[in-house]
Amino acid sequence: MTRRPEEAFDFSPVGAHQSVASEKGPGTNRGQKGRVTGFAVGIDWITATFPLARLEECSVTDLTQVADFIFGGNALLKVMLPTGRKFQFYDNYCVILDREGELAGRICFGGNNNTMQVELTGTGCHWVSNWAHVHFQLEILCARITHCDVAVDDFAGVAVGIHDLNELARGGVFAGAGRPPKTKFEDDHGHNTGCTLYVGKRGHKQYCAYEKGKEQKDETSPWIRHEMRFYGKHFGEDDDSGVLPMRGVPLDILLQPLRYFRGAYQYLADLCERIGLVDGTNKLRVVKAKVEATANAMVKWLRTQVGPSLRVICDALGEDAWEYVDKNVTREGRPSRWKAVGAAEQLHQLVRQQLCPVSM
């Protein structure tokens, strides 16, 4: 019998408000207007293994073709040269970079029963536009998913607060028929760096809820991410002797991630029912939320670190101040805080929308 989550609920998604850019300058922003709201569901990590022979049967003979074959060419993932170093149970691996040059995953090969392991991090998963394609390709490769994370983003933090969630966990809300899972809470003690709740353990089944916006350095952000981490060794099909010979997270998780999220704990199923959440990704909303948090943090840093110096320049040069700053102070490139946002060519437009929202 296949171990699978319960059937999905069918509820209408909660609507979302999206900010629109105005012609007003950055000085009109107060850090609270045009907040991204609503919810988003998506795959945030995937690790899959498959026989090398299956890859060769699909006429994929070059390592540089593997990422495009599995995740689609429009993801624009770049496979680097082999490192010559071991990783986990493999003799060698290649790093995968995204279109912004950020680490997006690994391709491991060499040994381990002539298999290959492909891992895509949350950064890499962001660029995958068609998970049905990934599902189909992995099915062709006879792949097993050994690790998959499903993320549910609550951008306005309206479903449940992180401290309330901690109290619920302490009260046993995640307990099932067997032994209650272990819980752990990392408190920021009011420093606004973000709190994190863990339920269960890595390698088995783990739920993690954390203040994603504060992780992005925006101390005022209400954004909470609920993340369910699944590991393949606890999925599979029983044979007559009760053994699980074919372990692996079902490939269907790529098509119906929320179904597996809900099936992990009854509390999560009840939570999704209460907020009316259904399957459906919204990558643009996730990117907007990252830009929002990062832009707010950047403005705070500018005000704290260089605000007084800029004021002296503005008072001294008046209308010529920006021309002077643009020529003598600014330089090409992006700060590291922007490198993993995933906005690509939309970055400047989204930053403008955040810094210059419509007056409300």
At 178 the pLDDT is: 75
Q: How many other β-carbons are positioned within 10 Å of the β-carbon of residue 171?
A: 9
pLDDT digit string (tens) for 95-112? 999 998 999 999 999 999
Q: Which of 56, 45, 49 is nearest to 109 (CA)?
A: 49
Same domain, 140 and 211: yes
| Residues in the chain where the model's pLDDT stays below 50 | 1-32, 243-244, 359-360
At 280 the pLDDT is: 61
| Residue 90 DSSP symbol | B
Alpha helices in 98-211 (DSSP H): 122-125, 131-140, 162-170
- For the record, the structure tokens of 268 come out as 């999560």
Distance CA(183)–CA(69), nearest Å, equals: 39
Same domain, 291 and 226: no
Distance CA(123)–CA(118), nearest Å, equals: 14
| Length of the chain in terms of residues written | 360
Whole-number Cα distances in Å, 192 to 32, 217, 337: 16, 9, 18
Alpha helices in 200-340 (DSSP H): 212-215, 257-264, 266-275, 283-305, 307-317, 321-328
Question: Do strands 92-97 and 78-79 pair parallel, antiparallel, or not at all (unpaired)?
Answer: antiparallel
Same domain, 126 and 212: yes
- For the record, the structure tokens of 238 come out as 């029983």
Distance CA(63)–CA(19), nearest Å, equals: 42
Collapse the DSSP code of 302 into the 3-class scheme (helix H, G, I; strand E, B; otherwise coil) and give the result. Answer: helix
Side chain identity at residue 234, one-letter code: H
Distance CA(154)–CA(134), nearest Å, equals: 26
Would you say residue 294 lies in a domain?
yes
Q: Give kind and range of the element (H or E) at residue 224.
A: strand 224-231
Distance CA(279)–CA(303), nearest Å, equals: 40
Place of tokens 């939320």: 289
Would you say residue 2 lies in a domain?
no
pLDDT digit string (tens) for 269-304? 999 999 888 766 566 666 666 677 777 778 877 888
Would you say residue 96 lies in a domain?
yes
Q: How far apart are the first and last CA of the chain?
A: 55
Same domain, 342 and 316: yes
Would you say residue 328 lies in a domain?
yes
Would you say residue 320 lies in a domain?
yes
Same domain, 85 and 214: yes
At 3 the pLDDT is: 38
At 38 the pLDDT is: 86
At 96 the pLDDT is: 97
Place of tokens 């079902």: 250
**Residues 6 or more apart whose Cβ sits within 8 Å of residue 321:** 310, 313, 314
> What is the total count of domains within the chain?
2
Same domain, 300 and 262: no
Collapse the DSSP code of 201 into the 3-class scheme (helix H, G, I; strand E, B; otherwise coil) and give the result. Answer: strand
- For the record, the structure tokens of 196 come out as 């994190």
Same domain, 100 and 249: yes
At 242 the pLDDT is: 52
Distance CA(108)–CA(85), nearest Å, equals: 10
Same domain, 75 and 213: yes
Collapse the DSSP code of 319 into the 3-class scheme (helix H, G, I; strand E, B; otherwise coil) and give the result. Answer: helix
At 358 the pLDDT is: 61
At 198 the pLDDT is: 97
Same domain, 74 and 190: yes
Distance CA(66)–CA(77), nearest Å, equals: 10
- For the record, the structure tokens of 170 come out as 């302490």
Would you say residue 27 lies in a domain?
no
Collapse the DSSP code of 348 into the 3-class scheme (helix H, G, I; strand E, B; otherwise coil) and give the result. Answer: helix
Q: What backbone phi and psi angles, to 5 degrees, belong to 247?
A: -80, 150
Residue at a domain's end among 282, 306, 337? 282
Place of tokens 């059937």: 7
Same domain, 219 and 176: yes
At 142 the pLDDT is: 94
Would you say residue 107 lies in a domain?
yes
Same domain, 272 and 291: no
Residue at a domain's end among 258, 282, 306? 282
At 148 the pLDDT is: 97
Same domain, 231 and 302: no
Range of the domain at 322: 285-355
Would you say residue 26 lies in a domain?
no
